[in-house]
Each structure stands twice: as structure tokens, then as C-alpha cells.
Chains A and B, each alone.
Chain A
């Protein structure tokens, strides 16, 4: 009973901590962030497992965590608000206004602790060499930075002033 409660507490506590620590997991995981993931994981394990090293305990705790995860995934699919609380919403990091001027979203960049070099990393990853080649950069809910290239495909005609700007999505892995 206590072991299952410890597993639930550990799971929900880690979900909160990971959500608060920041949205930079996955492909942007730097060695610095590796330390965080392994350290938090190791520390949580000590308290959650405690002195119960039996197979029964491990099995029950794994089932408890699986159920907690399933419940969160189910609730997230049912409720848009909960989905935003758990995953956040995509955030625009850079946009291009009607005049064609590229603008950083300073508040978002600062509060999400993201630098222009992070955006450039994603741009390079998708074949764009400079900031001028980017139309819009978006911090996705999973921490990836999606980059929409400026000016449509290289074969397209240049945009006229009356026409809405064309963008070409660069595939994000």
C-alpha cells in the first residue's frame, strides 16, 4: 500500500518538477541536462523504492506508475485545459511581421530560457544557414524548435507586396 502511494507521489512530483524545470528535453538535451535527468531519477528511486527490494514491490510500483501515466494521458485527451497545464502550448520564439521584419519574442525567449543560438541550432539542423532564412520559429510542446523557412520553396517566385507571405515548413524530427 505505502509502496504504491510512494510510486504515485514520485510520479506526479517528477511530472511537476520536469514541467517546471523547463521545456528543453529530447533532441536538445545537452550534457548539462543529462546530469539533471540522471540525478533526479537516481534520487527519486532511492525514496520511492525505499528498503523494499522485492519483485512484488517492483511489479506493483511499475503498475502504479503505468496507471498514473495512462490516467494523465486519458485526462489530457479529454480536457484542453489539462492538456495545456501538463504540456503547455506551443510558443512563438521568432516571427516575421507584414513588413518582413524578423522579431524575437523577448519575453518568451527569456522566460523559457532559450537563446538565439538554440533557434539557429534547429535551423541548421534543417538546412537553413542564417536567421534571414527563417520566417517563424516555434517552441513546440515537446521541447523541439520548429522552423518555418522564409520565402516558400527555392523554386517559387518571390512574394509580391499584396500576396500573403509564403512559408515552407521544415520537417521537424
Chain B
């Protein structure tokens, strides 16, 4: 013998129109929801405006520049970057950074690791590891010369980096924020 199905009495709790059509409308709740929607749309507009401005990367607010104290280095970069999205960090080497037709450029480990340096243009003549980063040398003709790093961060977070034109030369230190 099969078991009987569990049952309970039907209660007529659904709100009606003119006391005859059971609709279940709740205008009080709906008005609260509309208010919530208005707040949400305002928030959406704010997010879009910030994005267009570059607050989440790739816009005027994201672009940053820094120059070393002695003026030998000028770095142009995106201070807000996006995960998995390429960007360019340019280093302009002035005359004071060049010695004997060669410039030395030290970059901290974060630039290659967390910020994901994929390529250096032009390719350095030599690379030396150690001191918490990489030291590259570039043969240079008449300064200024520009070295470009193609970055592609693989994760979100705040990543400080440092670039200098050698042990006793000017240094640029800055932070890059990577959004998810």
C-alpha cells in the first residue's frame, strides 16, 4: 500500500483586487523596491562615470608620470591597471643616465613578477639578476632614449615598484593598483 501524500488546508491569503481577483500585489514592497532601484541606478551611473574617467584603469585618471630627483629618468605609466590587460610603462633616459654610450636600468622584482613585464623594447644588451630586481644595460646613441616595458598583471592588488638609472643615480618609486 502506498503512503498518502502530506497535505494542508489552502489558506486564502493572497491580496485581492476589489475583493474578487486574487493577485497578490504588494505596492508597499514594490515602492521600497523602486526606491532601491533608484539608488542602484545612481550607483551604476557613478561607476560608469568613474570608469570613463579612468578610476578603474585605462583613462585620464589612471595615467601617471614621475621624474627622478636628478632628472635622469622620466617614467610614464598607468597607476591603475586591470588584471590580464596590457599596458606600457615608458622610461625616458636623459643624458645624465648615459655613461660611455651605455645606460644601466634597474627595475625592482615587482615590475617583472606581479606587474607581469612581458617584453622590453628594445631588448637589453645584458641582464643581471640580484639586489631585489633586474639590472639591464642598453647601448645608447644620442639621448634622450626611451625604453618601453609591456606589462600585463596577472592578479589584483597594490604593487610598489622602483626604477633607477644605476646605483648612484636617480630613482623613481611609485605604486600601481591592479583592479580585478
Contact = CB atoms under 8 A, between A and B. Distances in A.
Interface of A: 20, 50-51, 84-85, 88-92, 95-98, 108, 111, 136, 138, 148, 164-165, 167
B25 A90 contact: yes
Interface string B14-36: 00011011011111011001100
Contact of A91 (B18, B20, B30, B40): B30
B20 A164 contact: yes
10 contacts: A20-B37, A20-B40, A51-B84, A84-B29, A91-B25, A92-B25, A108-B30, A136-B21, A164-B18, A167-B21
A111 B34 contact: yes
A53 to B, nearest CB: 14
Given A51-B84, A84-B26, A84-B29, A148 B37 contact: no
Contacts of B40: 20
A141 to B, nearest CB: 9
Interface size class of B (residues with CB under 8 A): 10 to 19
A138 B20 contact: no
A47 B29 CA distance: 34
Interface string B162-180: 0000000000000000000
Most chain B CB within 10 A, of A89, A111, A138, A167, is at: A89
Give 5 closest A-B pairs by Cβ, nearest first.
A89-B26, A90-B23, A111-B34, A90-B24, A84-B29
Contacts, number: 44
B25 A89 contact: yes
A21 B41 CA distance: 9
Interface of B: 17-18, 20-21, 23-27, 29-30, 33-34, 37, 40-41, 84
Nearest to B155: A2
B68 to A, nearest CB: 36
B33 A167 contact: no
Given A88-B30, A91-B27, A167-B21, 17 more contacts: A20-B37, A20-B41, A51-B84, A84-B29, A88-B33, A89-B24, A89-B26, A90-B24, A90-B25, A91-B30, A98-B18, A108-B27, A138-B23, A148-B21, A165-B18, A165-B20, A167-B20
A136 B17 contact: yes
Nearest to B36: A20
